[in-house]
Amino acid sequence: MRIAIGNDHVAIEMKKGIRAYLESKGIEMLDVGTDSPERFNYPISGYKVARLVAEGRADCGVLICGTGVGISLAANKVHGIRACVCSDPYTAKLSKQHNNTNIIAFGARVIGIETAKMIVDEWLNAAYEDGRHQVRVDMIREIEETQHLRAAEEDAQ
Ligand code: RB5
């Protein structure tokens, strides 16, 4: 498995910790984040990781900034990306099972490294359940690709 990881200047230590943790499990890591304490604009890492995942050059992605919000917002602008900010392992697990997330994000100012490891473990060990969830994931894709949602427009008539 190959995982892309990215971060901003706020999340260097957590990025290093998560990267080392996943490498210790034999996972190949593509690190596109910064290791410099200079200010680093989080959309750059969000975009880079998102493109690696969207193009199939990474199986999935991990993004870390101060809150996980900005970096996941940037990633979600890339077609095909479903990035979710999580502060707890349960949400991470369900985000994979129900929403088929392909990027997980969290905040270095919000959670500690042990919670971050638990989040990543739950997320990687979970599997998308497909079935009834696919119609909803397809709706998300429809909004992304067309800026419309037929089901909502029919509902409004
Ligand atoms: C950087 O100060 C901070 O805004 C960033 O790490 C992140 O929290 C944005 O969502």
Whether the CB of 42 sits within 6 Å of ligand 1: yes
> What's the rounded Cα separation, in Å, for the pair 62 and 60?
7
| Nearest residue (CA) to ligand 1, atom 7 | 66
Q: For the segment 3-50, what is each residue's pLDDT rounded down to a tens digit?
A: 999 999 999 999 999 999 999 999 999 999 999 999 999 999 999 999
Residue 141 has a pLDDT of 98
Q: Is the pLDDT of residue 157 over 80?
A: no
Ligand 1, residues 7, 71, 110, 111: which to mutate, most atoms within 8 A of Cβ? Answer: 71
DSSP 37: S
Name the pTM for this structure: 0.96
What are the residue ranges spanned by the domains of the chain? 2-126, 130-157
What confidence score (pLDDT) does residue 155 get?
A: 85
Cross-strand pairs, 6 = 63
- Ligand 1 pocket test: which of 12, 14, 65 has the largest number of ligand atoms within 8 Å of its C-beta? 65
97-112 per-position pLDDT tens digit: 999 999 999 999 999 9
CATH of 2-126, one of 3.40.1400.10, 1.50.10.150, 2.40.10.120, 3.30.70.380: 3.40.1400.10
| Cα–Cα distances in angstroms (integers) from residue 143 to residues 1, 3, 76, 112, 151, in the given order | 30, 27, 12, 34, 11
